[in-house]
Structure 1
């Protein structure tokens, strides 16, 4: 069985991607959560990943790191990771690559935090630009391939890649167009997303720098975590 190393569900956007994908496709794996540490995760994460990061997948002696690398590894071994239709597959891979390397303004200003609700009084222009591109991209996929998922009628890797954005939109109340907003609500009803959210809310451990980074984005409205 695979072993998937991840960090705390409250914060770890990169870990969410392969975790949600494997849950959605019913690919069995053993989950190992390794807490973020201040000031550096390097020593603890290096115990299972030479790159010192999460996520990391172990398949026996084989070590697969980076969420995109894990996705392609799984695609070689399991059906359904990417859409089966060529045009949808090409679009999904390009959109996933754009997410993997882009949207730095959104990432920087609005780090993933599942438990908090924060209001941003004045959204920075760079974040607005990223959100406009996300709305455009999601609308394109939904229109081209019929929804309700980004590349068709089932959850695939492209939905997993944008799952952290779903939580960012929810946490910070970020504006997207109507079609993208409906997709957000649809994703929040999916079993893997609900499971991740509930387990994040039940985490008893927190890390100061992640907490401060999220709260720096705006005005704290609520903390939904188990007290």
Structure 2
């Protein structure tokens, strides 16, 4: 079996890249990584080389897999020793459900709180209109509900949503980063969960690398989104 290659975007901003990178790293899968800086001068040329024009992409044994959940499912099947899904059937079904919910939903949080590891914007990213603010609030409350229910129902054997680290945690890791950047207040169960994710050595490694980057993507800066000058 050949060594997989994971093609990712900037670590400071690329939430979709973080997810498979984190899962593979925590799962102990040995892989190479290649970064394609997003929206740089040569982005059009680099984008044309990617199957869907987006990152992440996994290349392994002649297979090319794009789209984050597809990569994570492939990883779970290819490296079963990584134990990326819960072993219990009911827990595994719930983990898949919340992972897909994260994949498809929470657009208000994602749009108003772009992942930006090196930034700190307490209280911002909540939307500029009444409707946007209400949508962000609904997303936050639903995420809090998901995390609380998973921790209380399935998390007794560890610090993560289903006890041990799983794909569900990889899917929500960028939300943990966002909630840290924008200082979102959550209940104690959820705050403890966030602390556990942020304490993962792999998460620390990714975050340190993101903070060291110098690229700036204007549309992922909250000052651009909110139309305010930078401090």
- If the length of structure 2 is used for normalisation, what is the TM-score? 0.88
Are 1:128 and 2:137 counterparts? yes
- Counterpart of 1:116 in 2: which secondary structure? coil
Counterpart among 167, 172, 175 of residue 165 in structure 1: 175
Are 1:144 and 2:174 counterparts? no
Report the alpha carbon displacement of residue 41 of structure 1 after superposing the two structures with TM. Answer: 4.2
> Are residues 82 and 70 of structure 1, via their aligned partners in 2, closer, same or farther at CA, if it must alter by over 3 Å?
same
After superposition, residues 32-181 of structure 1 pair within 5 angstroms as: 32-37=34-39, 41-47=43-49, 49-79=50-80, 80-120=83-123, 123=126, 124-145=133-154, 146=156, 147-152=158-163, 154-181=164-191
Report the alpha carbon displacement of residue 182 of structure 1 after superposing the two structures with TM. Answer: 1.1
Asked if the contact 2:112–2:125 (Cα under 8 Å) also holds between the matched residues in 1, the reply is no
Asked if the contact 2:118–2:210 (Cα under 8 Å) also holds between the matched residues in 1, the reply is yes
Query: Deviations for 1:9-56, whole angstroms, at most 9, x for unmatched residues?
Result: 000000000000000011011010010116894531231x21000000
Counterpart among 184, 192, 195 of residue 194 in structure 2: 184
The runs of 5 or more residues in structure 1 that have no matched partner are 223-227
Asked if the contact 1:17–1:161 (Cα under 8 Å) also holds between the matched residues in 2, the reply is yes
Moved over 2 A (4+): 38-43, 119-123, 204-211, 213-222
The runs of 5 or more residues in structure 2 that have no matched partner are 127-132
Measured in 1, the distance between the counterparts of 2:16 and 2:138 equals: 22
Asked if the contact 2:58–2:71 (Cα under 8 Å) also holds between the matched residues in 1, the reply is yes
- CA root-mean-square deviation: 2.2
Deviates most, 139-148 or 154-163: 139-148
Report the alpha carbon displacement of residue 221 of structure 1 after superposing the two structures with TM. Answer: 10
Query: Deviations for 1:162-220, whole angstroms, at most 9, x for unmatched residues?
Result: 00001000101112222111111111111111011001111132233333x46535989
> Are residues 122 and 29 of structure 1, via their aligned partners in 2, closer, same or farther at CA, if it must alter by over 3 Å?
closer
Asked if the contact 1:99–1:161 (Cα under 8 Å) also holds between the matched residues in 2, the reply is yes
Give the structure with the larger strand fraction: 1
